[in-house]
Chain A
Amino acid sequence: MLSIYFLNVRHGDSMVIEYVSDDGNKHYGVIDSNIPPGSTDPPALDILKQLGANRISFIMITHPDIDHFRGIYKIMEYFRNNIDSFYSFPIGRHIKSDAKKLKKYAEEYAKQIKGTDSPLIKSASKEFIKILIEIKDNIGIENWYDETGYCNDIFPRGFNDVIFKILLPDSTTKSYIFNAIQSDNGLIDEPKERNNEISVALLVEYKNHRIILGGDAPNKKWLLHQNYLSKQGKKLDASAIKLPHHGSKEGCSLESLQYIAGERAERVYGIISANGVSHPHFDTIKNCQETNIGPYCTNLSKHCRPLIREVYPEIDPELSRTVRLYEEDLTENNIAPCQGNITLNIDNFIGIDRQYENLCLYRGEFDSIVL
């Protein structure tokens, strides 16, 4: 049995994978983390405690954006000496294996601390330095993997019957961080989009179900991947997708989603981990409809509220929590959970559990409650 927990961290990604092998042993992985406003601990740590984890097979940071690594240090600290491996975006072997270069990489984050008044950036940059120290001193540089490639197998300990493949980034991004920190301006002057270009996208395959965890990989990288895989005569054909880049149009064009979802007869589960206000883009929701992806958003999209009133003006506002959600104006400071935390359970069949089972217009579920 494989379960993937997609945690509601507002804007950002946070996933925990639990694998129960046939002999009943449990193995855990963490992919990205964020800490929502008002919380001190990462939700990923909370759920690992709830699940009774005492060892982590792997932690992965898909790319070095704040909304993907906040809280990772606390997880590393809690499970110190009980983490088998660390996976990351490409960082370049010259940095990992050279103490001076690793220090230079950390200095880039020290520069960020000195170059801002933002408490968030200061604390996140400090956390990133601590993560590097934790890898170096406790997990071990030899257990740090930063693979690239279009279909590159990785083997986290204990996940024996689960196939993990790095789909992105491609190898052309391998030297980005290395080159940047060697340059005069350093990493801080790099366009931020570069971080998405080096984002890991992962295929998790278990019992013939394919789940794509899209990271923040941009459209152009998915198209490159399509070119590669089509030459092999293969397709992705996902059963479920963590949509790239929180449902941004930069990562969820129609072409990208068509490629990732393939042409399955069954509807594909599409998890959108976003605050609902800045993301997802409305085009993404429409692209989901075009590609037979059923969207499951952690937070209610601001695009849904006016539309639902337009489509169903006579809906009884007291009918359900869902409808009341649509009565509220959504802003960055007033975010409403839609599905909340989402769990994919994968065995012979694939199923989805949600913290809030709110209905969705774009999954065609409102028809049943219209008066």
Chain B
Amino acid sequence: MAFFENTASDLGTGTHLFATDETLETYSSGENFPKNGFHIEPTAIQETVTQTNRGALRIAFEAPVFPDAAPPRPSRKDSVDGAVLKIGDVSVLCEVYTSLGEKRISLPRPLFPGSLWKGWTFSMRIREEMGYRGLEIIFREPKPLTIEEENELQSLMDCF
């Protein structure tokens, strides 16, 4: 399954999509997803993921995700017919996209008090379930620093 992984701030500063899943070599950034008939335009992500900390992620579709007909608007929990956000154990459905062009996915404000989207790792993949296709976006909270990283950072901060 084609799979993107990136970090919001990476994209915002214009760096490259990087893969952690070996299948990504086949579907590198900017290429078509033949089976699903659409294309995630990294440029658009790049320009807009900087806004994730304001609660939005924008993705450009060059072809409809659902080319035949507009699917029914999904309910919050029982459908994957659209974009699904998974945040930790919480799934949130996004808007459904049926047309060409740039679309804006409204992210909910961070569900965890004090957390911000910026810096979180997110991955996207096409998900098929119950005969429906959707774009799944999964956010992962950053891992804590290792002891070595903590020590190095502390030694830098001790210089002030």
Residues of A within 8 A of B (CB): 11-12, 37, 65-67, 99, 102-103, 106-107, 110, 112-118, 120-122, 126, 129-130, 132-133, 136-137, 188-189, 191-193, 246, 275, 277-279, 331-333
Contacts and interface: CB of A to CB of B under 8 A. Distances in A.
Give the interface size bracket for B toward A.
35 or more
Interface string B124-144: 000000000000000010111
B54 A133 contact: no
Interface stretch (B26-34, B60-68, B72-80): B26-34
A191 B14 contact: no
29 contacts: A66-B13, A66-B15, A99-B160, A103-B160, A106-B156, A112-B9, A113-B145, A114-B153, A116-B7, A117-B121, A117-B140, A117-B142, A120-B15, A133-B156, A133-B159, A188-B118, A188-B119, A189-B118, A191-B54, A192-B12, A192-B50, A193-B50, A246-B14, A278-B14, A278-B43, A279-B14, A331-B28, A332-B17, A332-B29
B28 to A, nearest CB: 6
Contacts of B91: none
Contact of B29 (A120, A136, A331): A331
B142 A116 contact: yes
B157 interface: yes
Contacts of A65: 13
Contact of A103 (B12, B28, B157): B157
The A contact surface, by secondary structure, is: helix
A367 to B, nearest CB: 30
Interface string B5-44: 0010110111111000000000011110000000000110
B156 A130 contact: yes
Nearest 6 Cβ contacts at the A-B interface: A116-B119, A103-B160, A192-B50, A118-B7, A11-B14, A66-B13
Contacts of B46: 278
B53 interface: yes
B27 to A, nearest CB: 11
Contacts of A37: 16
A110 B160 CA distance: 13
Interface in B57-106: none
Nearest to B121: A117
Contacts of B116: 115, 188-189
B101 to A, nearest CB: 16
A120 to B, nearest CB: 6
A114 B43 contact: no
B53 A189 contact: yes
Nearest to A116: B119
Interface string B144-160: 11000100110011011
A126 B156 contact: yes
Contacts of A117: 7, 119, 121, 140, 142-143
Contacts of B47: 278
B9 A118 contact: yes
Contacts of A115: 116, 118-119, 142
A129 B123 CA distance: 29
A122 B152 CA distance: 12
B89 to A, nearest CB: 18
A110 B153 contact: yes
A213 B39 CA distance: 35
B54 A126 contact: no
Most buried by B among A12, A66, A192: A192
B42 A333 contact: no
A11 B140 contact: no
Given A116-B7, A332-B42, 12 more contacts: A66-B13, A103-B157, A113-B149, A114-B144, A117-B121, A117-B140, A129-B157, A189-B53, A189-B118, A192-B12, A278-B43, A332-B16
A11 B152 CA distance: 29
